[in-house]
Chain A
Amino acid sequence: MKEKLIEMIMEVAEELNAEQEIELGQELQVDTPLFGEGGLLDSMGLVSLIIAVEQAIEERMDAQVSLADEKALSQANSPYRSIGSLAEYAANELTSQVDG
């Protein structure tokens, strides 16, 4: 699941980059810093990415997740550090939906 999400987030980020909604300026890796110190994105860039990832999950996986609720924002380790951490957070949210 996490691998699939990483791939999806990368695709979404590339699309946003092509549409000039965000500016990546470098090739993405799983551990590329996204937001925070040395991160690629400013706050509006992060907003755009999160919305696009939520929409992609809905379209491709037919599931609704919120990647910016209080839970996400209050994590000791921010899920927005890297594509890997965002994918992991999304995967956990999706799994807890299935279980819950």
Chain B
Amino acid sequence: MDKPVTLITGTRKGIGEYLARHYAERGHRVVGCSRRQPEWELDYYVHHMLDVTDEPAVKRLFSWIRKEYGRLDNLVNNAGIASMNHSLLTPVSTLNKVLDTNVVGTFLFCREAAKLMKKHSYGRVVNFTSVAVPLKLAGEAAYVASKSAVQSLTEVLAQEYAEFGITVNSLGPTPVDTDLIRAVPGEKIDALVDRQAIKRRGKYADVANVVDFYLRPESEFITGQKLFLGGV
């Protein structure tokens, strides 16, 4: 097989950057995107600056992938934002922003990816949920609602795309030290970690390990599933 083409969203920093490096090192041709330009460069990596909710821009990205590579093997919908606030203090504009990036962005990338992937009857899509969903985390109503939607979206798309040889699964990390949780007080994170079976913060490598598993060609019989780290 040719080098797989892997698209990862939200690659400027954090888990996305780690995954971009991880797959570029493993011989994938990696395409990444984020709203701003990353401060790093990488062989076998091409960056596109876009907002994942901007439909025309997302369509242009996929059209570029189609012209450049003629195919797409893997999509990792990592881009996401959080809003940690009591619902009584959450403006609708915040809710809309969280839903837009996490749900609309994921949907848009899944849809465009599937159009490309179905040509070769092969595809792997990995979406990001969060342990905040099963833990029903107070103070994260908007974020948890958006990630619940991602889980449902994953389950339904798995049904719709199965006939095209495309699997769609989701992964729910525990708190990993990234910008997403930077604003959350340390004791809140500790309390959250305390509800996991394995009581430590997540590492980038923990996330990559699950993504590796979902992306393997041998995982063709696994779809519509969700996996939470840390024993949640």
Q: Which residues of A contact B (CB under 8 A)?
A: 44, 48, 51, 55, 58, 64
List CB contacts (< 8 Å) of B47-62 with chain A. Answer: 56, 59
- A51 surroundings in chain B (CB, below 8 A): 115, 118
**B36 interface residue, CB < 8 Å from A?**
no
Question: Contact check: which of A44, A48, A64 meets B59 at CB < 8 Å?
Answer: A64
Interface contact tally, CB-CB below 8 A: 10
Range for the number of chain B residues in contact with chain A: under 10
Is there an interface contact between A44 and B66, defined as CB atoms closer than 8 Å? no
Show 10 residue pairs from A and B whose CB-CB distance is below 8 angstroms, ordered by the A residue. A44-B163, A48-B118, A51-B115, A51-B118, A55-B66, A55-B115, A58-B63, A64-B56, A64-B59, A64-B63
Main secondary structure of the interface of A (DSSP, over half): helix
Closest B residue, CB atoms, query A50: B115
* Given A51-B115, A55-B66, A64-B59, 4 other A-B residues pairs in contact with their CB atoms under 8 A: A48-B118, A51-B118, A55-B115, A64-B63
CA distance A44 to B66 in the complex (A): 22
- B59 surroundings in chain A (CB, below 8 A): 64
CA distance A58 to B163 in the complex (A): 25
CA distance A55 to B66 in the complex (A): 10
List CB contacts (< 8 Å) of B85-141 with chain A. Answer: 115, 118
CA distance A51 to B118 in the complex (A): 10
- A58 surroundings in chain B (CB, below 8 A): 63
- Smallest CB separation, B116 vs chain A (Å): 9
List CB contacts (< 8 Å) of B22-79 with chain A. Answer: 56, 59, 63, 66
- Smallest CB separation, A50 vs chain B (Å): 10
- Smallest CB separation, A60 vs chain B (Å): 13
- Smallest CB separation, B193 vs chain A (Å): 44
- Smallest CB separation, A72 vs chain B (Å): 16
Closest A residue, CB atoms, query B114: A51
